[in-house]
Amino acid sequence: MSSDAGNFPTWRGRWTFILAATGSAVGLGNIWKFPYIAGENGGGAFVLVYLACILLVGIPVMVAEVMLGRRGRHSPVNTMRAITAEVGARGYWRGLGWLGWMIAMLVLSFYSVIAGWALAYIPEMAIGAFQGVNAQSTKDIFDTMLQDRDRLILWHTVFMLMTAAVVTAGVTRGLGAAARVLMPILFILLVILLVFSYWHGDFARGFSFLFSFDFSKLTLRGVLEALGHAFFTLSLGVGAIMAYGAYMPADASIGKTVLTVALLDTVVALMAGMAIFPIVFAHGGIDPGAGPALLFVTLPVAFGAMEAGILIGGLFFILVVVAAWSSAISLLEPGVAWLAENRGFNRFTATLLLATVIWLLGLGTVLSFNDWAEYKFAGLTFFDGIDFLTSRILLPLSGLLIAIFVGWVLAPDVSKDELNGENSVAWPLWYWVLRYVCPPAIGIVLVVGLYDSFS
């Protein structure tokens, strides 16, 4: 393990950061949301717009966030404190670090519960619980699980312990090792499922659903959805990428590294679509646009009706857990790093304390599906409220503030120095896009999201 700033640890190499950041970006949304929204919004037409949004919004903001992390060489909270002091920015910009940490804790609290559902489905698949079932039966199985408070708490606990175990081990033996193991496993599982879909699914129809260029289905709302997903899929605004950037070697190219992460994240999403939809289309009566229900209600019907369904279904839910696990690790790390830096905790104690707080908060999500289901504020359960607050308000707000801070508050020489922008063709283009394209684009996502919620 090397260090570029005192005794602060760094990744063993550029590819360790790439795998860790890709693990942070790849999550549940890649497995079902991206394929679904792409198919519903013109397939290949949507993919083209999505890729343009990745280039114009996702990558510039991710470069800015990684650059801040490497410049500060601390947790996001202390990084913002150090950088604002360095450039003489107003003190309230320090709050950007706190905002990311708060979002990460809130998101992980319900993310852990949902990942626990996928964990619960692995033994169900193994014992053949879905063999020969219909859609109503799988819905009943899923509803029964949601009503079982103790079962949800059990799997929520298991997932949080899995996440805490990796973070406790530190940057090299924990985060780095997990990235080098989990991401190859994720790609191997995806390839296995992809090959199975090719031989046993309706691959031609799945390919057409995801990649046919139907611009008539691509509405303005679909373009905004592509913009929003391009921003959120890279795990921006939650402090995770800033924290990971702090461990990035000084000689690694941030721009090339971020481009690689964005490419891998997109490839995973497309591979997931081509693994899922041929299976869906091979079994009549299954709605490919089922959204979240596709994962826990619709797909198990297909797994239960196919040859080797127990094996393939089990591998699929292991894939979902691996994707969720890699993201959860990155959400827990920023807060642990701050506690270790500022409060004198060792990593074990800091991880245990923060994981316990997040676990307790996650109980609100668990109870939202059973004991507290009838208790709503403004029509929202506890889970709905946390989800709305993070996805519709705090995440785009955090991304917007990052773009404004780096583009308008931070002196250009700082980013130019960190990004090796002297005599670079790419740096002026990136800087212009970050200042003039990203803020209005993210602002539109924020406003439209709020409008949709209240209309």
The 10s digit of each residue's pLDDT in 355-401 is: 999 999 999 999 999 999 999 988 899 999 998 899 889 999 999 99
> What per-residue confidence (pLDDT) applies to 140?
92
> What per-residue confidence (pLDDT) applies to 31?
81
The C-alpha angle 141, 142, 146, rounded to 5 degrees, equals 120
Given 3-state DSSP classes, what are the helix, strand and coil percentages for the chain, each rounded to the nearest 5?
Answer: 80, 0, 20
The domain defined by 3-454 folds into: Amino acid/polyamine transporter I (1.20.1740)
Spatial contact of 337 and 356, defined as CB atoms under 8 Å apart: no
CA distances, 273 to each of 43, 292, 327, 438 (Å): 11, 14, 19, 28
pTM of the model: 0.90
Q: How far is it, in rounded angstroms, from Cα 448 to Cα 384?
A: 18
Predicted confidence band of residue 284 (pLDDT cuts 50, 70, 90)? low
Beta bridge partners of 3: 9
Residue in the structure block whose two tokens are 């801040």? 68
Spatial contact of 338 and 354, defined as CB atoms under 8 Å apart: no
DSSP 371-423: TTTT--BTTB-HHHHHHHIIIIIIHHHHHHHHHHIIIIIS-HHHHHHHTT-TT
Q: Residues, the chain, total?
A: 455
pLDDT above 80: residue 275: yes
The 10s digit of each residue's pLDDT in 95-114 is: 999 999 999 999 999 999 99
pLDDT above 50: residue 286: yes
Residue range 122-129: average pLDDT?
94
Spatial contact of 166 and 248, defined as CB atoms under 8 Å apart: no
Report the 10 Å Cβ neighbour count for 360: 10
Beta bridge partners of 5: 8
> What per-residue confidence (pLDDT) applies to 3?
42
Q: Where do the structural domains in the chain lie, given as residue ranges?
A: 3-454
**Residues whose CB falls within 8 Å of the CB of residue 437, separated by 6 or more in sequence, listed in order:** 56, 57, 60
As a whole number, the mean pLDDT across the chain is 88
Spatial contact of 309 and 130, defined as CB atoms under 8 Å apart: yes
